[in-house]
Chain A
Amino acid sequence: MTHELLGGSRGAEPPGGRLLERARSGDKRSVARLISMIENDEPGAAAVMRTVYPETGKAAIVGVTGPPGGGKSTLVARLGASYREQGARVAVVAVDPSSPFTGGALLGDRIRMRDGFLDDGLFIRSMASRGHSGGLARATLRVVNLLDALGTGVILVETVGVGQEEVEVVRVADTVCLVTVPGLGDDIQALKAGVLEIADVLVVNKSDRPGADETVRDLATMLSLGKGRLEFTPPIVRTSAQSGEGIAELVAAIAKHREWAARSGERERRRLAAARGEIEALLREELVRRLRGRVGADRVDDIVKRVAARSLDPYTAIDELLSTR
């Protein structure tokens, strides 16, 4: 397995091999560097992923999603502490949005997780979405796979604050917790129509606040209105992440879903969908990269300008780009 990393048929030594060795022996800095390599598509990243992929699929991957300000990070911190108490090695991958204009990002999820900063069995990584829509970053699944292969028991994946359409976490996580809060009023209706469908566990956080009973009732009513996607009815768990109330119940609900998913074949179905999604994503990236290399940035810019000026239509533009040799 290591021969490929050390050169072998792939020519010069990619920089990831030694890092991976050190990461396997528990060196956190090497893990951190490998994550950056994967995030940045640095040389050697693909070789690392090839090596580790067969060792993935062992960790319990829990997604935490929901609207901004709902308490996802605080809840993730609580969940992380709880899994640590059970003795599992835990990793958190927390995604926050990048600016569509500057590419910059303010990653603030760690603020809520500070109690665990010095715990050797906990690894926290913030990721900027870097223009990827769907609630995660382009490389989130790859980073999760790396952490999985390195022997992490539980991986908590926190999405950006979501609205209606950011459902990609379902392709990464075995169990998705949707975190909502009381008092979203009419907004909750919109939420129901969208991301609600991917929820395996519904969490009403900040449940010490007025309106929690109504929110729980609304969700229960919604669930009762029709058959869901699955024969599994998502439980509704009330939590107060700040005080820790309801966390034990949430952990139990996640475990119950996990057990059901393994028994019912749902986990296999999800893994199949995830594999398809990842292959398609990689294929798209690679095809675009190759095409760009062949066509050249100047020519792409030129075609873009012509399409914007209406002297060329986008369909003909694609034909032109694809026929460039």
Chain B
Amino acid sequence: MKRPIRVVMAKAGLDGHDRGVKVVARALRDAGMEVIYTGVHQTPEQVVETALQEDADAIGVSLLSGAHNYIFPRISELMTEKGLDDVLLFGGGIIPEDDIATLRSHGVERIFQPGASLEDIVAYIREAVARKRGAGHAKG
């Protein structure tokens, strides 16, 4: 049974820098994934609702605005609220090293900083989604 990986790619908050997220979205597409792109200026509520309706395996959020310490924990909180615990949350953008541990404690498994390779991102999502899918029957 073939089940393509579905990833929601989002820009959240007041941040219009969407080149990076588009490059990543394109790479995921070329890796055979179904990418749901939400466009810019999404609220955490919109991002989570999209992932819910699209039955996404993963949510990727790009943030270059400095609001990551608010937006990621809020998305994570909403995911728990809506029962999306089995969905992967990852991020990318201009996010200082010092904040990454905090974000991880808020459920952001991985942050890709500038310079991350597309191959690494693709490989990570494949691995992490396989792990999440195998982890339980929460989805069934």
Q: Give the B-binding residues of A (Cβ under 8 A).
A: 15, 19, 28-29, 31-33, 35-36, 40-43, 98-99, 102-108, 110-111, 114, 117-118, 123-126, 128, 130
Contacts and interface: CB of A to CB of B under 8 A. Distances in A.
B17 to A, nearest CB: 16
Nearest to B27: A104
Contacts of B45: 117-118
A114 B42 CA distance: 8
Interface stretch (B32-40, B69-77, B96-104): B32-40
Contacts of B31: 102, 104
Given A35-B55, A118-B46, A124-B53, A111 B39 contact: yes
A108 B31 CA distance: 17
Contacts of B84: 29
B38 A104 contact: no
Interface string B73-105: 000000000111000000000000000000000
Given A111-B39, A118-B46, A126-B36, A99 B29 contact: yes
B49 A111 contact: no
B12 interface: no
A106 B35 contact: yes
B1 A104 contact: no
Nearest to A99: B29
Nearest to B139: A33
Contacts of B39: 108, 110-111, 114
A35 B54 CA distance: 9
A169 B33 CA distance: 25
B115 interface: no
Given A104-B31, A106-B35, A40 B2 contact: yes
A125 B4 contact: no
19 contacts: A29-B84, A31-B53, A33-B140, A36-B55, A40-B1, A40-B2, A43-B1, A103-B4, A104-B28, A104-B32, A104-B35, A106-B35, A107-B35, A110-B37, A110-B38, A114-B42, A114-B46, A118-B45, A124-B53
Interface centre among A43, A105, A107 (most CB of B within 10 A): A107
Nearest to A122: B53
Contacts of B50: 110, 117
A125 B54 contact: yes
B3 interface: yes
Contacts of B55: 29, 32-33, 35-36
Nearest to A43: B1
Given A42-B1, A107-B35, A110-B37, 19 more contacts: A19-B140, A29-B55, A36-B3, A99-B29, A102-B30, A103-B4, A104-B28, A104-B30, A104-B32, A104-B35, A105-B33, A106-B26, A107-B36, A108-B39, A110-B50, A114-B46, A117-B50, A125-B53, A126-B54
A118 B50 CA distance: 9
A257 B26 CA distance: 40
A107 to B, nearest CB: 5
Interface in B16-68: 25-26, 28-39, 42, 45-46, 49-50, 52-55
B80 to A, nearest CB: 13
A139 to B, nearest CB: 13
Contacts of A111: 37-39
A29 B32 contact: no
A213 B6 CA distance: 42
Contacts of A106: 25-26, 29, 35, 37
Given A40-B1, A111-B38, A114-B39, A104 B33 contact: yes
A102 B29 contact: yes
B36 to A, nearest CB: 5
A108 B34 CA distance: 11
